[in-house]
């Protein structure tokens, strides 16, 4: 069974009123953890790789590990998505590699840092949509900017998405789904809010923007980036075993679920997985300083990650939906876009 177009997973999520987690990967253990969670919870799933991940895995390794995941799990619909594509060429490269979905992040210029003009965003997104849809591949775009700079990608300012402009943008570009900026940021440090007890508080989110955008274009799936919850017990565990993380706070699950009720269909999670892997490995190293077999720490890290992801799949509502539909091919989608 080949990979499925992400558009199909999102369309099904719209019908069933649930969200689908999109989990970032860089190696075999992360892919295996996601697949184990999807199998346990019978979930359709989006696996995504950033530009950094493509570089790290030298492209071809990622492709073949993904193919192994597909072969090993024919009953699970899996979409492979490029996260934060910075240019037409990066998106083209991912499509050539076999990705069934790409994000063109035209909210920033190709350097991945400079906030781009609306006109630039429309132009580059349209170009990617034309190329991708002709091949049946799904396209995600972004309007507005998130906070947080990870691996050199990201703006240092948050610009909330304007609901009126969002409708105009989707019409002008023909994208399948839209990443919206509502105050989330990438990474572990999402909030500078300090509560009366001196402890960090979750960032304040502009949920009203999601409600408003959903009212104006109810069928268009929204994407929530920067959706890690940054569990405090993981930060504490990391610091207990020698880590030095500063006070960090993420997005509470209830807020994500509120987003899902109002049209968010794709939820991007990377940081929580990184925290889980790091906490597990630090503990093992601290308790067994003589350990040097990578299987003895990567294995438990993989198991812990699978558990964390399975919990999210249940919370997002995608659990139990893997077998709801016949899996579509890119050719099916090509015909769909041609007739639209």
65 part of the interface to ligand G3H, by CB under 6 A: no
91 part of the interface to ligand G3H, by CB under 6 A: no
Site string for Zn ion, 243-272 (x = CB under 5 A): -------------------------x----
- Residue 293 a catalytic site member: no
**Contact status, residue 239 vs residue 275, Cβ threshold 8 Å:** no
Identify which of residues 147 and 163 has a Cβ nearer to ligand G3H in the complex: 147
Dihedral over alpha carbons 80, 229, 318, 107 (to 10 degrees): -50
280 part of the interface to ligand 13P, by CB under 6 A: no
Site string for ligand 13P, 157-196 (x = CB under 6 A): -----------------------------xx---------
User: 153 is in the binding site of which of ligand 13P, Zn ion, ligand G3H, none (Cβ under 5 to 8 A by kind)?
Assistant: ligand G3H
Shortest spacing between CB 269 and ligand 13P, in angstroms:
5
φ/ψ of residue 56, rounded to 5: -60, -40
**Contact status, residue 142 vs residue 182, Cβ threshold 8 Å:** no
From CA 168, how far away is CA 171, in angstroms rounded? 5
Q: Which of 29, 140, 142, 150 forms a contact with ligand G3H (CB under 6 A)?
A: 150
Q: Which of 3, 6, 21, 24 forms a contact with ligand 13P (CB under 6 A)?
A: 24
Which residue pairs from 156-164 have beta carbons closer than 8 angstroms and sit at least 24 positions apart in sequence?
Answer: 157/115, 158/183, 158/185, 159/107, 159/115, 160/206, 160/209, 161/209, 161/213, 163/209, 163/212, 163/213, 163/216, 164/216
From CA 176, how far away is CA 14, in angstroms rounded? 12
Identify which of residues 50 and 327 has a Cβ nearer to ligand G3H in the complex: 50
Binding site for Zn ion (CB under 5 A): 225, 268
Tell me the catalytic residues. Answer: 83
């Amino acid at each position: 069974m080949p990979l499925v177009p992400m558009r199909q997973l999102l369309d099904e999520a719209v019908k069933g009123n649930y969200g689908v987690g999109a989990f970032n990967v860089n190696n075999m253990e992360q892919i295996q953890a996601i697949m184990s969670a999807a199998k346990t919870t019978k979930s359709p799933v989006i696996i995504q790789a950033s530009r950094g991940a493509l570089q790290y895995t030298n492209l071809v390794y990622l492709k073949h590990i993904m193919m192994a995941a597909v072969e090993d799990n024919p009953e699970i619909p899996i979409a492979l998505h490029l996260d934060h594509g910075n240019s037409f060429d990066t998106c083209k490269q991912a499509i050539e590699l076999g990705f069934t979905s790409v994000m063109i992040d035209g909210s920033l210029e190709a350097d991945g840092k400079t906030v781009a003009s609306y006109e630039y965003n429309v132009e580059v997104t349209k170009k990617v949509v034309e190329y991708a849809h002709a091949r049946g591949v799904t396209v995600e775009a972004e309007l507005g900017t998130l906070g947080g700079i990870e691996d050199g990608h990201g703006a240092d300012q948050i610009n909330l998405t304007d609901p009126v402009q969002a409708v105009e943008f989707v019409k002008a570009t023909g994208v399948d789904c839209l990443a919206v900026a509502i105050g989330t940021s990438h990474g572990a440090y999402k909030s500078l809010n300090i509560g009366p007890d001196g402890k960090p508080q979750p960032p304040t989110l502009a949920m009203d923007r999601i409600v408003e955008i959903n009212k104006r274009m109810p069928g268009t799936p929204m994407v929530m980036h920067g959706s890690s919850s940054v569990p405090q017990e993981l930060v504490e565990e990391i610091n207990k075993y020698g880590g030095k993380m500063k006070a960090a706070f993420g997005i509470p699950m209830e807020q994500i679920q509120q987003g899902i009720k109002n049209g968010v269909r794709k939820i991007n999670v990377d940081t929580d997985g990184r925290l889980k892997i790091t906490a597990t490995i630090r503990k093992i190293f601290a308790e067994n300083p003589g350990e040097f077999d990578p299987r003895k720490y990567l294995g438990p890290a993989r198991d812990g990650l699978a558990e964390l992801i399975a919990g999210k799949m249940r919370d997002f509502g995608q659990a139990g939906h893997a077998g709801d539909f016949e899996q579509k091919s890119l050719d099916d989608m090509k015909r769909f876009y041609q007739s639209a």
